[in-house]
């Protein structure tokens, strides 16, 4: 029997956080690889530009599966996993990478397939900024995540909800286009890279829930 897994404002354990981040990185790569293989999608460099060029973290989930990569071993590269745990600096670096990757993906998809992800996802990500190890920021919100650690669990859970929701919305928009044979072929983006992959439910501070279990 599978035990349902949740992350809420009242708390979550480290294993669930690590597994959730593993799922997110896996979904990002999966969506990009699927777009590259889709015969109706013009570009074939989604994975190269939105994943390979950005993600610089390796994550092991609680069952030993690996996601992520090391592209810059001397530039804030981190390993996250059950043995290594998740450090404040490692979490922040990955958040910086995910902000950058999803923003890059949204801009590219809007230009290539006619989605409206830049506008749609802005309402989910506009509360936060992430300070990178090099002193640059991504995001435009008031609350800032820094390498010194997450000081507010509410903000972190709300951000994790936004990340999960952004994957769901991306899949839904692509499936709509695929359903009418416009810009993409398939209609199983959400099924493969959200429903079957994001297997933890996250409830934000307003009571909204994203994810699956």
Tens-digit pLDDT profile for residues 174-183: 999 999 999 9
Tens-digit pLDDT profile for residues 104-163: 999 999 999 999 999 999 989 999 999 998 899 999 999 999 999 877 999 999 999 999
Q: What is the DSSP letter of 71?
A: S
48 falls within a domain: yes
Q: How many domains does the chain have?
A: 1
Q: What is the DSSP letter of 38?
A: -
Domain containing 124: what range? 6-210
Q: Which two tokens stand for residue 76?
A: 């804030």
58 falls within a domain: yes
CA nearest to 16, candidates 28, 4, 6:
6
1 falls within a domain: no
125 falls within a domain: yes
Would you state the pLDDT for residue 76? 85
Between CA 64 and CA 181 the distance in angstroms is: 38
Tens-digit pLDDT profile for residues 15-37: 999 999 999 999 999 999 999 99
104 falls within a domain: yes
């Amino acid at each position: 029997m599978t035990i349902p897994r949740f992350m809420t404002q009242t708390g979550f354990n480290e294993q669930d956080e690590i597994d959730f981040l593993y799922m997110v990185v896996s979904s990002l790569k999966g969506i990009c690889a699927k777009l590259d293989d889709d015969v109706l999608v013009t570009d074939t460099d989604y994975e190269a530009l939105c994943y390979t060029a950005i993600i610089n973290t390796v994550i092991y989930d609680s069952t030993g599966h690996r996601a992520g990569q090391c592209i810059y071993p001397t530039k804030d590269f981190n390993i996250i996993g059950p043995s290594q745990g998740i450090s404040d600096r490692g979490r922040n670096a990955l958040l910086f990478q995910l902000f950058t990757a999803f923003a890059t993906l949204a801009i590219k998809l809007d230009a290539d397939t006619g989605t409206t992800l830049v506008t749609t996802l802005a309402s989910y990500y506009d509360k936060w900024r992430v300070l990178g190890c090099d002193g640059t920021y991504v995001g435009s919100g008031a609350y800032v995540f820094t390498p010194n650690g997450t000081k507010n669990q509410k903000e972190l859970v709300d951000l994790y909800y936004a990340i999960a929701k952004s994957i769901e919305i991306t899949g839904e928009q692509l499936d709509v286009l695929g359903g009418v044979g416009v810009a993409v072929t398939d209609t199983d983006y959400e099924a493969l890279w959200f429903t079957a992959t994001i297997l933890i439910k996250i409830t934000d501070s307003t009571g909204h829930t994203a994810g699956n279990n």
